[in-house]
Structure 1
Amino acid sequence: MKVKLLFLISVLLTSEGMAQSINRFRDSQTIDAFFQYSPERKRPLILAHRGGPGPADTENSIITFDKTASALPDAILEMDVRMTRDSGYVLLHDATLDRESNAKGAVAERSLAELKSIQLKTLAGELTNQHMPTFADVLAWNQNRYLLSLDVKPGTDPIRVMEVVKKYKAQNAVFVICYSLADAQRVRTTYPKLWLAVGVNSLADLDKFERSDLPKSRLIALTPQKLQPVAFYERLHKLGILSSVGTYGTGQLDEKPMQEAAAGYREIVRQGGDILTTDRPLEVSGLF
């Protein structure tokens, strides 16, 4: 009995020690240092796609974010932000409710109050008693402890989303994924210190990116899932820009047994990938 008690105390102390402090990302210097490119970096940053849910977990939910962050405090938590009919903001990957909840139809056709009452399903399709979080709910939960990656979905204005971020004084705990250089430039004009992620999907894209007027500071490059030549990543690194590589989706590394996929994850990092965007953040982190 005494041994069991000591074990439980040890687990609790370990969990508390791993939790990050409130307002860890309280200023621009902290997030700038987190994303500073260094050729000496040995471990990739881990970005938990949709929060990193397993089959029995819900995606884009506070319970899953908390589970991932408690086990992997330096993980970046990715989430999908969508606007409701009455201009509120909730988290859901799909444009429709069918796959992820017990409701049907488009998110954009429901009010914030209606969506808050909807129950979420796990990845395996099991209904839970968890309700859809609002974006404000997540910011209030986070309290700037962990970095949040905001995939602001088409039809949702990132500048308006940032107004919610400002209310929670969380500008230095988020970065925004932009779907075009024009979108990135628009957001950068309004929020010059905000970190942004932009797609650089080919050598032609890289040429266009380098020639663009978009300032090359505080940027993350979303690069192809297919491994690129070392020179591709080196060109980004010369600009001080980190490369994020997605490993999720049909036929990708996340869908393969870890024993088979491990070498692939490591090869991405050897080639020059800096951030691994993955559906299984804990397991991938354990490879490095």
Structure 2
Amino acid sequence: MPPSHPAWPWPAFIAHRGGGRLAPENTLAAMRTGAAAGFGMVEFDVKLSRDGMPFLLHDDTVDRTSDGSGLASELDWRALGRMDFGGWHGPDFAGEPAPSLYAVARCTRAHHIHSNIEIKPTTGHEAETGTAVAREAARLWAGADLPPLLSSFSEAALEAARAAAPDLPRALLIEGPVPADWRLRQQGLGCIGLNIDARHADEAAVRDILDQGATLAVWTVDDPDLARALFDRGCHAVFTDALRHVRADAPGLVR
């Protein structure tokens, strides 16, 4: 079994952007896909529309994952509601809307799956996004068996999230190699640990993080052998797009 950690009560296998490669990312269809695949936890990205609605989107623009165009921060919620966020993935998902954080909370809680909410601010909107997402998450997950884990690459967003909802757990996302000052940054933000890139989760980096008592989740892990190696090193969780292969019931993955 993956190792336990008092600060990591969530499942060890996390469906990346809801449904991995099986559904259009960051949609309700993706959340249902992750649940149907047997995942007990999903990860998704949240930013703000121009009129302040927290909704799911990874990029600064809607161009890649919808039939619309433009910066998310310059589009209001009504305009976003007229866009198709599923057709790019295939005809079975045509017409899938961009969901609000409210809709995703209702969906995931109804399916009894836990959430890693990545605060993904449009560039230049870090603090306001961290504040709004954390406040809404605290409200929507009030009374849940486990709170959502908030994470972000943006330290400004995490600082704002801590001020807005200090009781929600947070993790610092690291782009590239783990920096030498990671512990100072993690503790300064009041984060429970790090979420790091699998390409930089070598034995030395993993041991350094775990020896200092931090939690460690690794993205994006699509190879079962790599997932097994990471758990053997002591990692607490992996994010995956390969929902059929990297999962709790995969042969040999969980001993």
Aligned-partner Cα distance in 2 for 1:46–1:123: 26
Identical amino acids, percent of aligned pairs: 22
Aligned-partner Cα distance in 2 for 1:49–1:123: 18
Displacement of 1:189:
4.1
Number of residue pairs matched by the alignment: 235
The change in CA–CA distance for 1:268 and 1:68 in structure 2 (over 3 A counts) is: same
The change in CA–CA distance for 1:239 and 1:192 in structure 2 (over 3 A counts) is: farther
Alignment RMSD = 2.9
Contact 1:118–1:131 at 8 Å: present in 2 too?
Answer: yes
Displacement of 1:122:
4.8
Equivalent residue letter for 1:266:
R
Q: Which of the residues 108, 114, 117 maps onto 1:142?
A: 108
**Aligned residue in 2 for 1:199:** 173
TM-score normalised to structure 2 length: 0.78
Q: Which of the residues 148, 164, 173 maps onto 2:136?
A: 164
Please give the secondary structure, in 2, of the residue aligned with 1:173.
coil
Spell out the pairing of 1:14-163 with structure 2 (5 A cutoff): 35-36=8-9, 45-54=12-21, 57-74=23-40, 76-122=41-87, 124=89, 128-143=94-109, 145-154=112-121, 155-156=125-126, 157-163=129-135
5+ residue gaps, structure 1: 1-31, 38-43, 249-253, 255-260
Contact 1:230–1:272 at 8 Å: present in 2 too?
Answer: no
Contact 2:60–2:71 at 8 Å: present in 1 too?
Answer: yes
Equivalent residue letter for 2:153:
Y
Deviations 1:243-281 (A, max 9, x none): 111136xxxxx3xxxxxx432332222223221111113
Aligned-partner Cα distance in 2 for 1:228–1:189: 30
Aligned-partner Cα distance in 2 for 1:122–1:242: 37
Q: Which has the larger radius of gyration?
A: 1
Displacement of 1:284:
0.4
TM-score normalised to structure 1 length: 0.70
Displacement of 1:123:
5.6
Displacement of 1:148:
1.2
Displacement of 1:186:
4.2
Please give the secondary structure, in 1, of the residue aligned with 2:66.
coil
- In the alignment, structure 1 residue 269 sits paired with structure 2 residue 245: no
The change in CA–CA distance for 1:91 and 1:187 in structure 2 (over 3 A counts) is: closer
Contact 1:100–1:125 at 8 Å: present in 2 too?
Answer: no
Equivalent residue letter for 2:246:
V
Q: Which of the residues 187, 196, 217 maps onto 1:223?
A: 196
Bigger mean CA offset, 134-143 vs 261-270: 261-270
Please give the secondary structure, in 1, of the residue aligned with 2:47.
strand
Aligned-partner Cα distance in 2 for 1:243–1:71: 23
Equivalent residue letter for 1:58:
P
Deviations 1:10-32 (A, max 9, x none): xxxxxxxxxxxxxxxxxxxxxx9
5+ residue gaps, structure 2: none
The change in CA–CA distance for 1:181 and 1:113 in structure 2 (over 3 A counts) is: closer
